[in-house]
Amino acid sequence: MRICVIGCGYVGLVTGACFAEIGHEVVCTDNDGQKITTLNDGGLPIYEPHLDEIVRQNVAEKRLSFSVNLAEAIRFGDAVFICVGTPPLPNGEADLSAIDNVARLIAVESRSPKLVVEKSTVPTQTGQHVKRALSIYGRKSGVEFTVASNPEFLREGTAVLDFLHPDRIVVGVDDRGSEEQLREVYRPITEQRFRCRVHNDSCPAQKPHFLVTSINSAELIKHACNSFLAVKISYANMVADMCEKLGADIDEVTQALGLDPRIGRHFLSPGLGFGGFCLPKDIQAFIRLGERAGVDVSLLKSAEAINKQRIESFCNKARQLLWVLKDKRIAVLGLAFKPNTDDIRFAPAIDLINRLLVEGAQIQAYDPEAMGKASAVLPSVRYCHDAYELTDGTDALIIATEWPEFKNLDWSSIRDRMLRPLVLDGRNLLDAAAMKALGFEYHSVGRETREGKTNEQPERTVHSREV
Ligand code: UDX
């Protein structure tokens, strides 16, 4: 099929490149000309594992191209996927101006029938507004439009594999024709009929579920899903606080919780809380949507409040241990909102650093991918080349992102470089007993500090969704 993707952010780029990878002809467009220039020059505006390979290969094989000419891109596609941003407004609601703008442009620029698919995360009933905009602004051309919702469940850091090997594909439609078109678009994935060049052992062997719903349900599914994950993380954080106060161990508790199949083991890792451009904004938008609809959303509000409190209580811990923060040299390991991404939007690390800076601490930081983006928002931080330079002469080290390679650092050497071997592990990345045996003052979240405790801790995975 011929597909147009509007918006070359995380979702749009991964969507466009993956559609090309499974055999479609794709043109991606964006109103940011600089982004398109970067892509046409062979660069990528974001870091996402595997994305560079599949973009390069599909451009070379002539299935994927990038254009600043929105009208041409729209006319090219039988299906147009809207992947523009829906950032939060000051009141927490999603800003839908980009969706509205794109819907009007599609209406005006189209010359042949189009299936218009919302992939951006939008509040329920947005599809009805898109339909109305298409029919009002497209009335002169007489072009026929159908609308569908096809939410994405891509996690940054594993987005390409998530797209090509999903658990489920949700399509919200109002008519059989749109359903058939979307079945066709996804057939290579649902029938596993393409040769995956980036396949690895983490890819599920079974075929994904293909769920057909109403447009309203599809839109709601996305918010409900991300909000549930947010609630689950906040629940784990609340239980971790109880463990800390009452002398229990969160790893032991979540391991037992996770073995109950009704609960599941994913998304129970406590720490600095959830960040990124999806969970925090989606739970907020879902709260506003529920409030407008007159639904009691206090459950979601509590989850959000617990998350906001994570940074403050972690700072309290740092204050207790360091006494005065002013003029203390604090190393922060990890800046991205989670591993395997350079994304720092709503990253707990950034929030944490800002608070420590306010109290006069001297911050130096290291992250394998996110330092470029962080330096733009935190210019007063000293950025280091590696974890060893980072820790030289510091009073404390805070682990804010659980990059897997941090586990394999030479921790004895780090201990010797630090002025005071104090580690505050905000992601429970390291083994408490091993760190103490190495001579560190080691503090993590919700774990028992009893001497001589030797239990093996369950492995925390790279994607931070497992216990
Ligand atoms: C999320 C959803 O998972 C994905 O399905 C959706 O399409 C987009 O939003 P993403 O934003 O990439 O994906 O991040 P995710 O892996 O969900 O993690 C979100 C945040 O929660 C991160 O800051 C992470 O560190 C934190 N987290 C995750 C925890 O604190 N504990 C956990 O157990 C899991």
Is pLDDT of 463 > 80? no
CATH 3.40.50.720 fits 249-443, yes or no: yes
Distance 284 CA to ligand 1 centre (A): 15
Q: Taking Cα atoms as reference points, which of 3, 342, 21, 9 lies closest to residue 160?
A: 21
| Residues 284-323 pLDDT 10s | 999 999 999 999 999 999 999 999 999 999 999 999 999 9
Which of 306, 311, 236 is CA-nearest to residue 266?
236
Q: Is 403 in the pocket of ligand 1 (CB under 6 A)?
A: no
Q: Candidates 229, 444, 467: which one to mutate for ligand 1, based on the most atoms within 8 Å of Cβ?
A: 229
Q: Is the distance from the beta carbon of residue 338 to the nearest atom of ligand 1 less than 6 Å? A: yes
Over residues 100-109, the mean pLDDT reads 97
The domain locations on the chain are: 2-213, 249-443
Does 268 contact ligand 1 (Cβ within 6 A)? yes
Mean pLDDT of the chain: 94
Fold of 2-213: Rossmann fold (3.40.50)
CA distance 215 to 63: 29
Percentage helix, strand, coil for the chain under 3-state DSSP, each rounded to 5: 45, 15, 40
- Residue 163 sits at the vertex; the CA angle it makes with 201 and 350, to the nearest 5 degrees, is 95
- Residues 6+ positions from 458 with CB-CB distance below 8 Å: 251, 255, 467
Contacts of 292 (CB under 8 A, 6+ apart): none
Question: Residue 426 burial (CB < 10 Å; 0-12/13-18/19+)?
Answer: buried
* Ligand 1 atom nearest 266 alpha carbon: 33
- Each residue of 171-227: pLDDT tens digit? 999 999 999 999 999 999 999 888 888 877 777 778 899 999 999 999 999 999 999
On whether the CB atoms of residues 364 and 332 are closer than 8 A, the answer is yes
Whole-number Å distance, alpha carbon 25 to ligand 1 midpoint, is 31
Query: What's the mean pLDDT in 351-357?
Result: 97
Based on the residue annotation, tell me whether 243 is a catalytic residue of this protein: no
Give residue 274 CA to ligand 1 midpoint distance, Å.
6
In the reported structure, the alpha carbon of residue 261 is separated from the centroid of ligand 1 by a whole-number distance in angstroms of 20
Residue 340 CB less than 6 A away from ligand 1: no
- One fold for 2-213 and 249-443: yes
User: Averaged over 274-293, what is the pLDDT?
Assistant: 96
Contact 187, 91 (CB under 8 A): no
| 346 pocket-lining for ligand 1 (C-beta < 6 Å) | no
SS3 assignment, position 412 = helix
Whether the CB of 275 sits within 6 Å of ligand 1: yes
Tens digit of pLDDT for each residue in 2-35? 999 999 999 999 999 999 999 999 999 999 999 9
Instruction: State whether the beta carbon of 464 lies less than 6 angstroms from ligand 1.
Output: yes
For atom 16 of ligand 1, the residue with the nearest CA is 155
**130-180: pLDDT as tens digits:** 999 999 999 988 899 999 999 999 999 999 999 999 999 999 999 999 999
Least confident window among 191-200, 265-274, 457-466 = 457-466
CA 440 – ligand 1 centroid, Å = 30
Mean pLDDT value across residues 387-402: 98
Instruction: Assess whether the C-beta atom of 163 lies below 6 angstroms from ligand 1.
Output: no
| Catalytic choice (83, 243, 278, 315) | 278
Amino acid at 278: C
